[in-house]
């Protein structure tokens, strides 16, 4: 009988309905721009680690990696992570 009560107590202890209040949102800090340097990459590994590149003509574009971003002459630099939509 004690085992049943112990199991019931453990099961109900994990089922709390009390919500933890959310604290203030962390400030969004812009990731630093990594500049593309010369010479530009000629070969990049085939992986997917998105990078958001700043384009010389203006705007941004998501590339598979920072390497593939800098391989494009239109890119001036990149930040880790995909570009916001």
Q: How far is the CA of 45 from the CAs of 48, 67, 75, in angstroms?
A: 9, 8, 18
Q: How far is the CA of 16 from the CAs of 6, 11, 12, 38, 73, in angstroms?
A: 17, 10, 7, 57, 55
**What is the model's pTM?**
0.64
| pLDDT per position as a tens digit, 36-83 | 999 999 999 999 999 999 999 999 999 999 999 999 999 999 999 999
**Reported confidence tier of residue 3, pLDDT bands at 50, 70, 90:** low
Query: Mean pLDDT across the stretch 17-44?
Result: 72
Q: How far is the CA of 71 from the CAs of 12, 19, 74, in angstroms?
A: 57, 48, 9
């Amino acid at each position: 009988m004690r085992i049943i009560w112990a199991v019931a107590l453990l099961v109900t202890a994990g089922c709390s309905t009390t919500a933890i209040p959310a604290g203030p949102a962390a400030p969004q800090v812009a990731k630093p721009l990594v500049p593309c340097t010369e010479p530009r990459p000629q070969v990049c590994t085939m992986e997917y680690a998105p990078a958001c590149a700043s384009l010389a003509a203006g705007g941004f574009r998501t590339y598979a990696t920072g390497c593939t971003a800098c391989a494009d002459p239109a890119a001036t630099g990149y930040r880790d992570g995909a570009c916001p939509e």
